[in-house]
Structure 1
Amino acid sequence: MNKIKVILTNSTLKPYKLVAVALMFCFFTAKDAKAQRKVGNKQIVQFSGVVVGQDSTTGVPGVHIYVPKAGRGTTSNLYGYFSMPTLEGDSVIISAIGFEKILYVVPSNRGENITEFFELQTDTTYLEEVEIFPYPTEKDFKEAVLALRLPSDNISQDNLGAEVLARMAETLPIDGGEAYNNFVNQQFNTAHNRYLYNPNPISTFLNPFAWAELIKSIKRGDFKKKKK
């Protein structure tokens, strides 16, 4: 930084000259400060922004924001925010796993601070169809099928014999369907026996044959008291 030393004396400088010296001091100081914000001929730009997903509401953390040629960069925080120094014309890559990369070129006409909003798009990769085939060609597969030797029929006949099936039926437990059928049959038999041996009084009262038998009993005098 170039330092400018100004010595003022009341005897040598008049008021208008003091103003001129002060303006020159401010000019050189501002020029020197502006020179500090440049690297070569390029201006330093503080590049900031927020990276969100496709919903445009949720920040994406851990996004890489870097300048490949310069070898510098940063990552977004928990809320998708980042900030890093760049130069005018820098090509900035914004990338994250599962999203498409974004290329951003730092403009040269927007001042020393730039803030942008980036929306990442999901990167969907379609893989080529893969057919798993144990044979190099279809011809070899057909030849292998034609040359296949199936086991003898005697093996299946031995397993499906009448004695074998009867022995299996005796030893194997019943399955769910058979258990359900047994339960239904038991309920039916219980209800049927209860109806036969314990008739319902209401059903007897409504039975016309029971009424006919009652009338016959009255005519015969079955209900008359016997004289002692």
Structure 2
Amino acid sequence: MKKTALLSSLFFVLFLFGFGKLQAQDRQDRKVIQLSGIILNADSTDAVAGVNIYVPKKGRGTSSGRFGYFSMPVLEGDSVVFSFIGLKRQSFKVPENVEDDRISLILTMEVDEIALAEVEVMPYPTEKEFKEAVLAMSVVDPMTISSSNMSPEMLLRWAEAMPASGNENFRYFQQGLMQQNQDLYGPRPLRLLDPFAWAQFIRSIKRGDLKSRD
């Protein structure tokens, strides 16, 4: 029994060794090629980033960068798969007996449209319960809501919280620029010491502009 188990183990080890040797020899026989390219969306011709690019069952792969560019070493005869969520999967067969050691691709991927079954969502288990719930709803008179919104207290609250209009903002901005220019070229003028202002004030007194009018 032990002899049979030992022979089976020895045969299995020799099989693995021979299989690995054949794979290594196959890789040495096939030429290494640098596969590079850009992946674009067929609908918008925009670069597609994050596309999974790999050789199935070989443990070799990469992904496209920010601008859809990718580059990876492959062997002659490899089948390279391009997959991305929402786009149709594509494959590329590396040709054999290639003269150059580089291959460049411009790959366009189409949108993968999946039709889902229709799902009807109801807020209640049955249509009868839904109708009963709608009929039992209490509807508020819209005129009552309008009257409460037009009350003086509500209008005053809205006026205090309402932001300035475009004209007011522009006027404040212009006033700020004028004050900055005045501060740039000297102190702001004091109207109390302005002789022209005093002359205008005296003329208004003589004309009687300041007299109270009944």
| Fold-level similarity (TM above 0.5) | no
TM-score by length of 1: 0.42
Whose radius of gyration is greater, 1 or 2? 1
